[in-house]
Structure 1
Amino acid sequence: MPETLDLSGDVVALTAAICDIPSVSGDETTLADAIETALARSAQLEVLRDGDAIVARTHLGRSRRVVIAGHIDTVPVTANLPTSFRDAGTESEALWGRGTVDMKGGVAVALHLAATLAAPRWDVTWVFYDHEEVEAELNGLGRLARLHPEWLHGDLAILGEPTNGGIEGGCNGTLRADISTTGRAAHSARSWRGSNAIHAAAPILDRLAHYTAAEVEVDGLVYREGLNAVGISGGIAGNVIPDRCTVSVNYRFAPSATPEQAAAHVREVFEGFDVEVSDSAPGARPGLDALLVQEFVAAVTSVTGGVAGPKYGWTDVARFAELGIPAVNFGPGNPELAHADDEHCPTGQIRSCAAALRGWLTDDAGPDAGTPGIEE
């Protein structure tokens, strides 16, 4: 029997419900089916599906369209489901379990608002997609961008990634590269006959140790870059002088730079060495100079407090940026608890995010979302 979701009830209860439906990457179909069925009950929504990605959108003839998106998959469960509440009824009340932070809280907020806002002041496209926690080529949002780019059209995109209820604009780009040295193999008892490639890697590590990360201002936000060794390999046996060594580095670069510019910078830092870029992804500018983005930031911060900050990690806002859509991250949960065995999210944060987003979409902050007896 298919799972049943109550999208119009309490947003925290909805968060628990979607967390408790198995949805580890590759196993999202049951949750996707439940989401599709629940959204189809809303007459104001056109519901589309590609694989386990569900898109629901309004057609109200508004002057602007906003895309609000979130991934429905999680990393593997580690005895942290079903969900549970701790400190219930207090200000410290939290929902514990896999997905509560990354990112079923944000998904629940979007599902609740999709079903209960019959006439938002902007047209809205709600996107719930699969396979975010695995290889990039499987990413459901990437698949939609390739196969159905018209489904993602909008003037602003909001990704419900955990941000502790604040706004994090854009994201850094990321690049991985292998820096290699070569030597000459020899028996370690006659090491002078060889040339040790691992020893030759010392200057690589020295350059990394003395590297000063740049701080780059983009659209009013300051992004801190980083260049770090994330792995080192070399040698084939305990009695052989290694003839090759590879240091793997990760470069996080500000969204004002292209992957090509990032690669050129890495090659400049490691001039004289063999540099092979293995993977890269562009960042996303926050687009805070866009009027619609400024209105969203002002509306949300008036409810949740704080100011907009940069997203140092890479998120799927970069996919919207590639489509020419300014994008921000906004959702409940501490990102430092994402994927942790003790993953948990304050229930008050889920409610405040729902209230802030609902207030912006209706131009009326109103009472907390999901409270019984409230008409929305």
Structure 2
Amino acid sequence: MSNTPPPVLELAEALIACPSVTPAAGLVFDCLEAQLTPLGFAVHRFITGEAPDGPVENLFAIRHGPEGSRHFAFAGHVDVVPPGDDWASAPFAPEVRGNLLYGRGAVDMKGAIAAMVAAAAAVPQEAGTISFVITGDEEGPAKYGTVALIEHMRAVGAIPDLCLVGEPTSVNWLGDTMKIGRRGSTNIWLEVEGKEGHVAYPHLADNPITKLVHMLAELKAMPLDDGTDWFQASNLEITDLSVGNPATNVIPARAQARLSIRFNDLHTGKGLGERVSAIAEKHGGKARPVVYGEAFLTPPGAFSQLIADAVEAEIGLRPEASTTGGTSDARFLKDLCPVIEFGLCNATMHKRDEAVAVADLDALARIYSRVALAALAG
């Protein structure tokens, strides 16, 4: 096993060159396994789930340190969103132009995974245990991804002491932001049944749209919170209205809507679902909540200090602790151990001509190496 870090750019290019629109499987995992095996990692790949949200391929790799040593985990995903059209170069043919590496996944998040591999190569095995928790379904439903990985890790007794997720958290430049928590997310489908009829005879019908409008007005007025020390205020947004009535002179039989609630740690998804359901029933409707993740917080402390120290040592900047943005697989990993997200600049993620600065890849690998060494030292 060599402790010489592989070139981060080459690692990233190899991963990007593997088309892996979510759910990812096969080739991109072959590539990652080929990168990890020479570094002494035992790689376990498995497929779980059935249609429509599966099957999903996942990878857990571990390199054990001395008995009783600490365990630090890198986590992330190799699946990417569809590239779309009109790229300046082919999205899965990585290309360096100027000082930037272009390709789908360069930022979110094959570039970070490449930096993790290079970082792991630079950490001596005697420093402690390092693992990789990699899913092929973070950009999709995520039903059979990291959840299945966590089940596997528990089954084999490989619970890390700390976990770093390589999501692209930086905003204006590498190192300005790390995520110490995320808001929870729930979508709620609403339906109101009525009685169809002619618009000229409303007394013979029951208009469900009227009920739905009153329901939505009360839901939008429902008090949530004003935020906390670390979280912005929770928000409820109406994301869809559907009646599907092609006739201009017919009162429809039913009306539907959908809500999205992003909530902080003052709430639970279950509790919010119950509140919405009660209001829906009050107006003669039904609610079907689906919770995609609970809010979580890794309070500022030793772990966030460790990451901030590593960033400052390499690039002279201390990242701001934040909980903004959408959800990530950290919402599952927080059940195993303290988890923080830190990674590349997110300006081009999910966009056409996604790109990362080559210098940022090298700097991130050095930061990740420092983080791993400090985390394993305890």
TM-score range, shorter chain: 0.7 to 0.9
- Stretch deviating more after TM superposition (185-194 or 238-247): 185-194
Report if the CA contact (8 A) 1:50-1:144 is conserved. no
Question: What does 1:119-130 align with in structure 2 at a 5 Å threshold?
Answer: 119=125, 121-130=127-136
Kept in 1, the 8 Å contact 2:263–2:295? The answer is no
Please provide the CA RMSD for this pair: 2.8
Contact 2:188 2:287 in 1 (8 A): yes
TM-score (norm 1): 0.81
Offset at residue 227 of structure 1 (A): 0.6
Paired residue for 2:342, among 298, 321, 330? Answer: 330
Q: Which runs of 5+ in 2 are unaligned?
A: 48-56, 86-90
Task: Indicate yes or no: 2:17 matched with 1:20.
Answer: yes
* DSSP-derived class of the 2:72 partner: strand
In structure 2, the CA distance between the partners of 1:182 and 1:282, relative to structure 1 (3 Å rule), is same
Amino acid at match of 1:319: F
Q: Which amino acid aligns with 1:204?
A: M
Match of 1:103 among 91, 109, 122: 109
Q: Residue 339 and residue 151 in structure 1: after superposition, are their counterparts in 2 closer, same or farther (change >3 A)? A: farther
- Give the aligned partner of residue 373 of structure 2: 362
Ranges in structure 1 where 5+ consecutive residues have no aligned partner? 1-6, 365-376
Correspondence list, 1:49-60, <5 A:
49-51=45-47, 52-60=57-65
Alignment partner, residue 272 of structure 1: 282
Is the 1:255–1:285 Cα contact (8 Å) retained in structure 2?
Answer: yes
Matches of residues 210-289 of structure 1 in structure 2 within 5 Å?
Answer: 210=221, 214-217=225-228, 221-238=230-247, 239-267=249-277, 272-273=282-283, 274-289=285-300
CA distance in 2, matches of 1:103, 1:115: 19
Q: Alpha-carbon deviations, 1:259-299, whole Å to 9, x = none?
A: 22222343466572334233103325232255334323443
Q: How does 1:1-376 map to 2 (within 5 A)?
A: 8-43=5-40, 45-51=41-47, 52-61=57-66, 63-79=69-85, 80-86=91-97, 88=98, 93-119=99-125, 121-139=127-145, 141-149=146-154, 150=156, 152-164=158-170, 165=174, 166-188=177-199, 190-191=201-202, 193-210=204-221, 214-217=225-228, 221-238=230-247, 239-267=249-277, 272-273=282-283, 274-289=285-300, 291-300=302-311, 303=315, 304-323=317-336, 325-334=337-346, 337-363=348-374
Whichever residue aligns with residue 32 of structure 1, its letter is F
Structure 2 CA distance for aligned equivalents of residues 225 and 97 of structure 1: 35
TM-score (normalised: structure 2): 0.81
Match of 2:53 in 1: none
Q: Is the 8 A contact 1:8 1:112 kept in 2?
A: yes
Name the residue aligned to 2:88.
Answer: none
How far apart, in 2, do the equivalents of 1:128 and 1:293 lie? 22
State how far apart, in whole Å, the 2-side matches of 1:120 and 1:315 are: 31
Check conservation: 2:75, 2:133, Cα contact below 8 A. yes
Distance 2:62 2:260 in 1: 38
CA contact (8 A) 1:85 1:94 kept: yes
**16 and 120 in structure 1: CA distance in 2 versus 1, 3 angstrom threshold:** farther
State the shift of 1:58 in Å.
2.6
Q: Distance in 2 between matches of 1:258 and 1:120?
A: 42
SS of the equivalent of 1:157 reads strand
Distance 1:297 1:155, change over 3 A: farther
Judged with a 3 Å threshold, the aligned counterparts in structure 2 of structure 1 residues 350 and 286 are, in CA distance, closer, same or farther, namely farther
Quick one: structure 1 residues 96 and 189, their matched pair in 2 at CA, closer, same or farther if it must change by over 3 Å?
A: farther
In 2, Cα distance between equivalents of 1:85 and 1:305: 29
8 Å CA contact 1:208–1:229 kept in 2: the answer is: no
Secondary structure of the 1:305 match is coil
Describe the shift of the 1:292–1:109 C-alpha distance in structure 2 as closer, same or farther (beyond 3 A). Answer: same
SS of match in other structure, 1:132: coil
Q: What code does the residue aligned with 1:312 have? A: G
What SS class does the counterpart of residue 368 from structure 2 fall into? helix
The answer to whether the 8 A contact 1:64-1:123 is kept is yes
Aligned residues: 347
Q: Is the 8 A contact 1:168 1:328 kept in 2?
A: yes
Per the alignment, do residues 230 and 59 of structure 1 end up closer, same or farther by CA in structure 2, a change over 3 Å counting?
same
Query: Structure 1 pair 144/212, CA: closer, same or farther in 2 (3 Å)?
Result: same
Structure 1 residue 26: Cα displacement: 3.9
Comparing 126-135 with 242-251, greater Cα deviation is found at: 126-135
1:101 match: secondary structure: coil
